């Protein structure tokens, strides 16, 4: 047995954990203090008060007003899972692609929250499924792939997300689903969905490994069978 190959899963796992996507570490929801001091549309969005949202906008408050961390009321609604508030804000002119100071949009926030309804609402309102977000140049799809959120990954793929987008650490959604997943059914289903959407299996990450390299090293047999379909077909 090749010694370097044998120890790869442990060494690579430690390296990967050290560089886990910022989309899972740097999202900053409103703090309890901020929620306490919010007024106007931010307060209404946080509590899901649709009537107040409608009245405030009618009275002239701008739907894309930002708090001290560049969160719009829509972003606050997404963090707080306030579906009705988000729908009202979008109907009244909120920007579905606004970013907070960390560079995250509603779509990525909803993805990390595993909030499929908010994801669908954002997409229906024009959220960009292919947006490059966060401080590591990631995407909502990469986040869904890491977390094993199958329905969200499929929704993003259907919405024409960039299947082969590579973040600043060299990871695509396909590599992420294998390398940062745990080989379970959810991550396997995401690999299957990405391969069916013609994800490029030959892309290498910053360690020089492809998705199938990770799958073979970790004994993810089902993933290997799926990934064999994606190797070499873009050459």
156-201 pLDDT, tens digit each: 999 999 999 999 989 999 999 999 999 999 999 999 999 999 999 9
What are 172's strand-pairing partners? none
How many C-beta neighbours within 10 Å does residue 4 have? 8
pLDDT at 9 over 50: no
> Do 77 and 48 form a contact (C-beta atoms < 8 A)?
yes
Model confidence band, residue 3 (pLDDT cutoffs 50, 70, 90) = very low
> Do 87 and 119 form a contact (C-beta atoms < 8 A)?
no
Architecture category of domain 1-26+103-235 in CATH: Alpha Horseshoe (1.25)
**CA-to-CA distance for 235 and 33, rounded, in angstroms?**
54
DSSP 17-63: HHT--GGGTS--PPPHHHHHH--HHHHHHHHT-HHHHHHHHHTT--T
Proportion of the chain above pLDDT 70, given as a percent: 89
Q: Which CATH number fits domain 28-101: 1.25.40.20, 3.40.140.10, 3.30.70.20, 3.40.50.2000?
A: 1.25.40.20
193-224 pLDDT, tens digit each: 999 999 999 999 988 999 999 999 999 999 99
> Do 97 and 126 form a contact (C-beta atoms < 8 A)?
yes
How many C-beta neighbours within 10 Å does residue 156 have? 29
Q: What is the pLDDT of residue 5?
A: 36
Residue 71 has phi, psi (to 5 degrees) of -80, 130
What are 138's strand-pairing partners? 133
- Report residue 226 as tokens: 């799926």
What are 133's strand-pairing partners? 138
> Do 81 and 74 form a contact (C-beta atoms < 8 A)?
no
Model confidence band, residue 233 (pLDDT cutoffs 50, 70, 90) = confident
Q: Which of 3-7, 44-48, 63-67, 209-213 has the lowest mean pLDDT?
A: 3-7
Distances (CA, A) of 75 to 64, 118, 187: 10, 11, 27
> Do 176 and 210 form a contact (C-beta atoms < 8 A)?
no
Domain span(s) for CATH 1.25.40.20 in the chain: 1-26+103-235, 28-101
Torsion of CA 61, 64, 70, 73, to 10 degrees: 80
């Amino acid at each position: 047995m090749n010694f370097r190959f044998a120890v790869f899963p442990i060494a690579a796992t430690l390296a990967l954990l050290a560089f886990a996507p910022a989309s899972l570490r740097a999202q900053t929801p409103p703090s309890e203090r901020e929620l306490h001091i919010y007024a106007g549309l931010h307060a209404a969005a946080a509590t899901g008060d649709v009537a107040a949202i409608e009245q405030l906008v009618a009275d002239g408050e701008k739907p894309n007003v930002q708090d001290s961390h560049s969160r719009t009321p829509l972003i606050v609604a997404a963090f707080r899972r306030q579906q009705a508030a988000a729908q009202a804000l979008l109907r009244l002119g909120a920007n579905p692609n606004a970013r907070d100071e960390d560079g995250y949009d509603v779509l990525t926030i909803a993805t990390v929250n595993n909030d499929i309804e908010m994801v669908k609402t954002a997409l229906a309102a024009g959220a960009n499924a292919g947006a490059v977000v966060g401080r590591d140049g990631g995407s909502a799809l990469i986040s869904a792939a890491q977390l094993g959120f199958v329905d969200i990954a499929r929704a993003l793929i259907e919405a024409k997300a960039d299947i082969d987008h590579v973040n600043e650490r060299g990871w695509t959604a396909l590599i992420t689903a294998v390398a940062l997943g745990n080989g379970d059914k959810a991550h396997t289903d995401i690999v299957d969905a990405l391969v069916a959407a013609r994800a490029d299996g030959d892309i290498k990450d910053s360690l020089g490994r492809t998705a199938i390299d990770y799958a073979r090293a970790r004994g993810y047999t089902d993933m290997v069978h799926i990934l064999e379909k994606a190797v070499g077909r873009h050459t």
